Each structure stands twice: as structure tokens, then as C-alpha cells.
Structure 1
Amino acid sequence: MIPSSINQAQPLNIYATSGSTHNQPPTGRTRNFTQSLAPGRPITASSQQAASVRDTLSGSKHITVNSGGNKVTINLVYLGDNELGALDKFNVHSWRSLGHEVNIHIHPFTEGLVRSEQSLGLAKGDANILSLKDTLKADVEITDANSPQKKMSEARGLLNDWLNAIPKQGKPTREHIFNMVDLTKSYLGATQKGIVLDMKVGPSPHLQAYTESFKDNLVSYTRGGNTAELPENQAIGTMQESDVLRSKYAENFNNKIKIFVSEGTPNHNDAWFNKLTGYHGKSYSQSKQWIDVATKTPNKEPIEKNYPVNEPGSVGHGPFRVYKHPSDQTNKGMTLTKPADVYSLSQDTLNKELKNIGADPYFYDKASEAANKLPR
């Protein structure tokens, strides 16, 4: 599936997973590649206050990490040279206001360009900024044969080839970008703890109902209906503490990439993204331990009308809210999302879901500032 999160202020910048920072620096090998973080701001509202406010959009309420909710790690991908857009920032700060960890995995298009919080339009401490190239380089040094990083060697090699093929002037083709994004999403979903999401995705008030299932399953989110019964790649990953599920997915996905590249590196300017999405879906299915949170309850029962979430032009379900019409798919050539609907929904999210529930006031204010800059 073609990623649908595209910043078109410049020729092309893509961000697929497609959130904001946590209160502590990342652990393990990614620590060295992270921009320094400001300490989290204190949350003063009580859990009792949070429990007293109900969400009028979806019939539920947010529970902040500070009030006892489970912390979720959100992994986002941003390839390109531009500043984040207003909706990107709104979702980054929404995740942060609830106390969740957000990493932005970046790679510039222009050779030698250094990306930072400031160049992304963020303040110091707003997000963990992680260099994709640095992560790939560090993963090569991991020798444990059972690690997902070791098992993703063919996928890593192909991703490095495609990243290195970006023209020095920073203008890759549309197909080249989509290929890199979809492969990056699967790579990070296989090797990093957390959920890889598009930047157009924010938390729904039902998030905490699903956080335990995030620990026991590979997470998927059906959106465009492009993969016919297979898991889609708009959400990839797991919050499982061990690497068991990630290693299963890594082995299955990498085996498919190994065959894919067996006759040489596929041309980066050809359209391979649908094939990559298919590889992802089949690899998830082979794990026998995945959940489509858009169609299933946390216990994997049919979701029916439960866990409703207002979205532009539709009602979704589950732990996430997508600020885009479900038929607004880049590979379908449709543009059905009305800016006024996104703006209105962002205001409802702020005033009916995030307000007065104990959200971090610093990040709530930043989310509000970003929402007010959305086109109407």
C-alpha cells in the first residue's frame, strides 16, 4: 500500500509512522543517536479528575500515563527535508500530552543536511529524533543470531541501497519514496519495541483498553481495504518486552526480501510498495499472533459497533484515530478529506477528550497551537 502521509510543501517529503517524545531518553543502542530531551513537565491534575470527565465523541475517556495508564512507544518515520506540518505536530503533542513515548526516525533527502528538532519545527524535548542511517549502521554490529536485527539483514541491505540511491540534490521520485517508506516501516516494526504509525494517526480515548493486547500481539490497523484479508501496514509492531514476536516477523519478512533481491537490487524507481505490503501481511499472518485493532476488540472478538471513534467522513473503531477519510488513499487517486473536517475534529479532540483529564499542560497547549494552524 502506498503511504498516505505526504508533505507536499516541497516536491515530496514522506512521513509514515507514520508520534512525540518521552520523559526519559531511549534505552539500549538507540541512545547514542537521540537528540537530548527536556524533562517531562509535571502533570498536576489528579486521576480522580481524569475519571470524572467522559469523552462525548466516542463514549469513553482518556487515561494518562500519569494517572495509571500504560505507556506506549510510538515510532514515526519522516523522510525528507521539510518541517513537520500542523497535523503532524498536533498528533505528536497529543501523544505526548497523555504521557506516551514518541520517536521520529528521520532521513533527509538532501545529502549532508542535518535534521534536528528545530529543523522539524519542534522544540528541544518535544520528540526523540533518531537517525535512520545510524540505526541501520548500529544494527549491523548485532551478532546474536536470534535477534530481529540479525534476521533482517536482507531487508536492511535493500533499505540501505534505496537510501543511498537518493539523488544528491534531494529529489527522489515518488515511487522511490514510497518504496523506502514502506520498507522502513516493516524494518522498524521488526526491530524496535513500539508501534509504527503514520503521522496522520493520533490516540483515541479507547487506547488504554488495548494496551495489554499490544504486549501480546503484533498490531495491525485495517484502513484502506487494499490487501484483501491480509494485515495492512498502517500500524506495525508490538509492545512485547521480549523480541519473540519481532523475531518471528523479522524472519518471515526477511525471507521474502531475500527471494525478492535474489536476482539483484530491485530498481528503486519502480513501484514495489504493494509487493512490500503483501510481504508484510503474509509475514504477520505466519506469526499466528496478531490483532487488527480496527476490526477486533482487545480480546479479538468482532468489534461491531464497540469502541467507536469519530473520524473525517466516517466512524472508525479501536485505539487510534486517523485524521483522514478512509477512501482518501494516495494509490487510489482520491482526495476526499476536507480540511475543515480535520480542523473541526482536532478542536473536538482538544476540548472534549484531552481537556481536564490530567493531560500534560505543556504539550496540551502545543497541540492546541498546532490545531489552530490547520487549514480550514
Structure 2
Amino acid sequence: MIKDVNKIVLAYSGGLDTSVILKWLQQEYNCEVVTFTADLGQKEEIEPARAKATSAGVKEIFIEDLREEFVRDYVFPMFRANAIYEGEYLLGTSIARPLIAKRLVEIAHQTGSNTISHGATGKGNDQVRFELGAYAINPDIKVIAPWREWDLLSREKLLKFAESNNIPVEMKHKQGGSPYSMDANLLHISYEGRHLEDPKSAPEESMWRWTSSPQDAPDEAEEITIGYDMGDPVSLDGKMLPPHEILEKLNELGGKHGIGRLDLVENRYVGMKARGCYETPGGSILLKAHRAIESLTLDREVAHLKDELMPRYASIIYNGYWWSPERLAMQALIDHTQLNVKGWVKLSFYKGNITVLGRDSDTSLFDPEIATFEDDDGAFDHKDAAGFIKLNALRLRIANKRNNS
């Protein structure tokens, strides 16, 4: 057990796990517990958490709408880098943890607490993300991770503890609840566990909550134009919108057209492989659109440098190092590359597919007079290519002569 705990700030959803954790903390540490519930766009009622916390004797309850901050300061900076982990995962769970960790530490300071607590398990990535973030912001903070301390390591034990401590349990939990462990925010919803623990088993169609099956999606395509400024989306079809509303709208459109499903076996930071399924409709659209506007506005070598750095940047976020000096340094470089990434991208959605229909920018590096296959009036001297090719072939010719001598 952690020593010298005076008050604990708990990341609290009001579900079975965190309700049990709340009571367990009160019993084991015999101190006041503060609850913090964040609305990150998970599409669930969070206000009931207040009544549950109150009934458990909690005096200080924090329930906050963080949707705009989440998208503006976390999701959008990540998308400036076109970040994808292991070639496919758009980091929906990973990017939410730094903000939650920051608010836990800030609320601890505000309430005079020296300790925070979370409900992440000892096998997962989230424990690493929460705690690395917390220590980066406050090196002296204490962290309690009940799943690494208690013996309530099954749903049956959790339900028995809840019953013996008069913790209200919803009928769905008593009946086993969802067959999956789910996490949702404005960027995505994830599914793990139970049926999905066998990589050979296909996910059931009934599992997907945000997206239509591509086969059942509308038979007519739908188009939208996304406006960009300094690398971030700022408008849809010419209408300026705050960041979280843009992502909400794109989630709706992408979900309608069956966009953004992913079934992935990924490598967790703690060392094991895990199978997860994800729905990231709006994020999938943003990645396609951002790369399209960058194709016009980024210098070739800058674009290629970004692509080289991206896997490292994505791993940094996946592994929980959002607040690390290396991520901050990379972010400064990435943000500098976005100064002229502005303009618009027109997209079409159809049965799980995203198609770029057009793009334009006042800061475009595309010069039609040079790129044309027609007469360019001397803008490009074709004869120059001969010397260019010979110079670049020189090392190849030398190597060939050596190898065949």
C-alpha cells in the first residue's frame, strides 16, 4: 500500500469497476476520496456519476465537459503529424489519457490531495499512460492502482464486493454486461476482451455501435468540403465550427457510410500482443483530408521527413509519453511544418470508402505551368534531366564496374 495518503482523487465513471474502487479506497486508506468524471464525448450520460458519488459519501465531486479542449489540444496536434501506430491504429484511447492525467493532478492540487487513483489494470497500457503523465506534471504525486493491489480480479468478485457493501449494481452488470471491454471518446470507440480474445474469431456485426456495415451503408455517395488553417480543420462546407463539433459531424457522416472500422492485433507497451477492434470514423476522414492538403502545401523533403518521424511520434503517444521532452520537441517541428497547410479538401464517402475529389490552397506549391504535359513555354528544360540522371547514376555505375571486374 501507498503510505502517507491524505486524500485521493479518483478517475471515476460511476460504472461497476470505479464504484467498487471508490468504496475500496475509502476502506483501505481510510481517507476522503474526491471523484473526477470527464466528458470526452463518450456519448454516455455522465451526470448520474454525481448521484452515485454522493450516495457513496463523496463531498467533492468534479464533472467536467472537456470535449473542446480534448480535440483542440490533443487530437488535432496529433493529426498534424498524421500519426498511426503500427500502420493502422489512430490512437483513440492513447490520446485521451494525457488530458485525464493532467486534470487528476490539477484537481489534486486544487483540493489539497497528494494522491490520485485510476481503474486501469496491470496488464494494460493505460496504467502506464496515466502514471507517466501524472509524474511528468507533478513528480511528487502518489498513485494508487487498485488492480495492482487487490484480489478482486474477476467480475464475480467485483459483484460480490458490491453486494456486500451495498453498492448499487445495474441489471446489465448482474447479467454479465457487454461481452466486451469498451472505451469511447470523441475520436473513437474500442472493443477488447471476451469473444475478441481469439484472433481467429471475427467480430460480431452487433458489436459495432458507431458505424453502419459498408454493405448496409447508403447506396448514394455523400460529399463534404473541409477547410484547413495551419494544419487544423476549421470549417465544414464553408461553415466555421469549433474543433469538437467538426469531429462530431465527421463521426456522424463517417458512421453513416461505414467508414473507420478496424480489427487489429497490436503490440502493447507492457510486452504482450492484444487484439482490439476500433471505430474511428471522423479520425479516418481527417487523416485522409490532412494528407491531401499537405500534398499541395508541403515541400517534398519536409513531407518525407514528417513521414519518417511519424512512427516514432505515434509510439511516443501510444506508450504514454505525451508530456515527454522528445514529444514536445517533435511537436514543435511538426507545428512549424503546418504554417502553410491551409486551404480546402473535397471528399466523397461511399460504403466504407473515402475518396478525395479535389483540393486547393492559396499556399500551394503545385505549379500547373511546370507540371503540365503540354508546352510549358520553357518553364522546364527537358535537356537538364540528362545531366541530372547521369549524376545520380554515377554511384550505381561505379558499383557495377567494381562488382563485375
TM-score (norm 1): 0.29
Bigger RCO (CA 8 Å, 6+ sep): 1
The answer to which structure has the higher helix fraction is: 2
TM-score (norm 2): 0.27
The structure with the larger Rg is 2
